[in-house]
C-alpha cells in the first residue's frame, strides 16, 4: 500500500534539548495511524513538523509526496491542534465559512451544515462559539479539520474534552473517514480508543520510535495459551510434558490456562491435538494478545531501563 507520510531519521533540537533523535516511520494511505508515547516523548514536535509549523534540525519528512507546509500539500491536509482557540464572537457557521475561504473555496452553507452534522452539532451553527461547551468546541475543531475534503487529517487528542458517548461518536466518524479513503494520523493518550480504531501505530519515547507496525502485531506476544477443563493431576502432568516437547519451552498451568512460549503459530493446532489425545477438554486456544495499554507500558519500561 502506498504511503502518505514518510519520515527518515528526523532530528529536532531546541537549544540543547533533543526533542527527536532519529525518528523513522511510514503511514499507509487510507489507514488510521496511532502515534503514542508518554508526555515529553516528542509526539507534538513531530506532528508540528509534519504539518509544516516546525522545521527539523536534520532528516527528511515527506507528506503526500511533497514538503510539509508547502501550499500544494497544505491544500490536501486537515489539522486539529491539541490546544486550539476559536474567536468566541463567531458562530459555528462563520468559523467554517472563514476556513473554507482560507482553503481557497467559496463559502457554502450546505457544506457548513454537512460538516456540523458530521460531528454532531446539528442546530448549533447559528450560536456563538463563546456559548459552546468544551465538548462542542472540540466537535467544531473536528469539523474545521475536515474543511475542503482533505486527503490526510492530523488529529492531536481529538477526544480529550468529550464524554464517553462523544468518544464513541468520534470513533465512528474516524472509521467513516477511513471508509471514504481518508488517512488519519491520530495522536491520543486514550489507548482504548486507539486500540479500537487504528490499523497501525508507532510508540515513541524520549524522541525515538521504540516500536511500530500493524496494531495486531504489536499486541501479540510470543506465547500461546490453551484454556482447558480441569484435568486430573496425572493428565495435567502429561499435558505439560507434551506441550514442552512440542515447543521446546517450559509450560505453566494456572486456573485452567496452559501458557507456553512459542513464536510459531503452526504449533498451536499441535498443542490442541495433544490435549485431545490426552482426553483433556479444550475450550479455547490461540496466541496471547495484550491490551494496548499493557503493550505500551511494557515497551516504555523496556526502553527506559
Per-residue pLDDT, 147: 95
**Structural domains of the chain sorted by starting position, each given as residue range(s) with its CATH number in brackets:** 3-217 (3.40.50.300), 219-292 (3.30.70.100)
Task: Please tell me the distance from the alpha carbon of residue 171 to that of residue 75, in angstroms, as a whole number.
Answer: 25
Per-residue pLDDT, 1: 57
Paired strand residues for 253: 258
Task: Please tell me the distance from the alpha carbon of residue 238 to that of residue 176, in angstroms, as a whole number.
Answer: 51
**What size, in residues, is the chain?**
305
Contacts of 122 (CB under 8 A, 6+ apart): 116
Read off the pLDDT of residues 133-144 as tens digits, 9 standing for 90 and up: 988 999 999 999
Q: 88, 101, 94, 140: which is closest to 118 by C-alpha?
A: 140
Task: Please tell me the distance from the alpha carbon of residue 153 to that of residue 76, in angstroms, as a whole number.
Answer: 9
Per-residue pLDDT, 190: 82
Read off the pLDDT of residues 100-155 as tens digits, 9 standing for 90 and up: 999 888 888 999 999 999 999 999 999 999 999 988 999 999 999 999 999 999 99
Per-residue pLDDT, 253: 92
Contacts of 204 (CB under 8 A, 6+ apart): 23, 35, 36, 37, 41, 42, 43, 46, 210
Paired strand residues for 252: 259
Cα 177 off chain centre by: 14
DSSP string, 262-276: -S-TTHHHHHHHHHH
Task: Please tell me the distance from the alpha carbon of residue 144 to that of residue 130, in angstroms, as a whole number.
Answer: 16
Which residues in the chain land under pLDDT 70? 1, 305
The grid coordinates listed for 182 are 481518508
The grid coordinates listed for 123 are 442546530
Per-residue pLDDT, 192: 84
Q: Confirm if 15 and 67 have CB atoms less than 8 A apart.
A: no
Q: Confirm if 220 and 60 have CB atoms less than 8 A apart.
A: no
Paired strand residues for 220: 289
Amino acid at each position: 500500500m502506498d504511503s502518505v507520510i514518510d519520515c527518515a531519521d528526523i532530528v529536532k533540537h531546541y537549544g540543547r534539548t533533543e526533542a527527536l533523535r532519529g525518528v523513522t516511520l511510514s503511514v499507509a494511505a487510507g489507514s488510521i495511524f496511532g502515534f503514542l508515547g508518554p508526555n515529553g516523548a516528542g509526539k507534538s514536535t513531530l506532528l508540528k513538523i509534519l504539518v509544516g509549523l516546525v522545521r527539523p534540525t536534520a532528516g527528511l519528512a515527506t507528506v503526500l509526496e511533497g514538503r510539509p507546509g508547502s501550499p500544494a500539500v497544505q491544500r490536501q491536509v486537515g489539522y486539529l491542534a491539541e490546544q486550539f482557540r476559536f474567536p468566541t464572537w463567531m458562530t459555528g457557521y462563520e468559523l467554517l465559512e472563514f476556513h473554507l475561504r482560507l482553503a481557497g473555496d467559496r463559502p457554502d452553507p450546505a457544506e457548513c451544515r454537512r460538516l456540523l452534522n458530521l460531528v454532531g452539532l446539528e442546530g448549533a451553527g447559528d450560536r456563538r462559539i463563546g456559548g459552546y461547551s468544551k465538548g462542542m468546541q472540540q466537535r467544531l475543531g473536528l469539523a474545521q479539520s475536515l474543511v475542503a475534503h482533505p486527503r490526510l487529517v492530523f488529529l492531536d487528542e481529538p477526544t480529550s474534552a468529550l464524554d464517553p458517548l462523544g468518544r464513541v461518536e468520534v470513533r465512528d466518524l474516524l472509521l467513516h473517514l477511513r471508509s471514504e479513503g481518508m488517512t488519519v494520523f491520530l495522536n491520543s493518550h486514550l489507548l482504548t480508543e486507539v486500540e479500537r480504531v487504528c490499523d497501525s501505530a508507532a510508540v515513541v519515547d524520549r524522541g525515538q520510535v521504540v516500536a511500530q507496525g500493524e496494531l495486531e502485531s504489536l499486541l501479540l506476544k510470543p506465547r500461546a495459551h490453551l484454556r482447558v477443563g480441569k484435568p486430573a493431576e496425572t493428565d495435567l502432568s502429561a499435558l505439560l510434558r507434551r506441550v514442552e516437547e512440542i515447543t521446546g519451552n517450559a509450560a505453566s498451568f494456572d486456573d485452567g490456562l496452559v501458557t507456553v512460549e512459542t513464536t510459531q503459530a503452526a504449533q498451536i493446532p499441535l498443542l490442541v491435538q495433544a490435549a485431545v489425545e490426552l482426553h483433556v477438554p479444550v475450550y479455547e486456544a490461540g496466541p496471547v494478545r495484550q491490551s494496548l495499554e499493557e503493550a505500551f507500558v511494557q515497551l516504555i519500561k523496556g526502553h527506559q531501563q
